[in-house]
Amino acid sequence: MYNIPCKKCSGKGVIPYFRHVNGGECFTCNGSGIQEVSKDEYSTHLENEKFRKQIEEKGNYVIYNTENDTVEYFKTEKDAVSEYGNFYCGSYGGYSCRVFYKHKHIKMNVNRGGNDFINACRQQTLIDKQNKQKERIKILNGWLKKAIENKKHADEIQELKIMIKEAEHKLQKI
């Protein structure tokens, strides 16, 4: 078995709220502050700890750049503002976030100990890219339709068909 700090009392052995019951001793760990867990739970614990320490070192204001898929951290909101200027409250990928007026592709969220915001942003960026490409295919198809209607030269029609094929191929690869 593996030992980790008790999740209920955060390894303190007591829960202040229950001080009136048995001195507040934690029932989960019997006051030891230690909890026995399986190997899987232990590695999850190490993983979370690693992430928590990273956040602590880097700062918990996480910034995602939708243009080049980069992540940046700031310790305070002031630090972020001095770098990117003022922001407004917006949303991205289903998360409310702060968007910078001068850099609309940069989204900021306060990290609460998970990677959810960044993952949601990445997902949204892909959807945006797909939609953009679908729009492009639609436009090309419109051009093709017009070219056929106007009895344009066969080469021009062929050229458009190739462009559409390429665009569809690109969409599949996103």
Q: Which residues bind Zn ion (CB under 5 A)?
A: 6, 8-9, 26, 28-29
Between 6 and 80, whose beta carbon lies closer to Zn ion?
6
Between 15 and 140, whose beta carbon lies closer to Zn ion?
15
Q: Compute the least distance from the CB of residue 2 to Zn ion, in Å.
A: 16
Q: Compute the least distance from the CB of residue 51 to Zn ion, in Å.
A: 22
Q: Compute the least distance from the CB of residue 44 to Zn ion, in Å.
A: 18
Instruction: Kindly report the number of other CB atoms within 10 A of residue 96's CB atom.
Output: 11
Q: Compute the least distance from the CB of residue 39 to Zn ion, in Å.
A: 21
Backbone angles phi, psi at 60, to 5 degrees: -100, 15
C-alpha gyration radius of the chain: 26
Instruction: Single out the residue of 124, 125, 129, 113 nearest to residue 62, CA to CA.
Output: 113
Reading the block at residue 133, the tokens are 């490409």
Residue length of the chain? 174
Between 26 and 108, whose beta carbon lies closer to Zn ion?
26
Between 8 and 58, whose beta carbon lies closer to Zn ion?
8
Burial group, residue 149, by CB count within 10 angstroms (0-12, 13-18, 19+): exposed
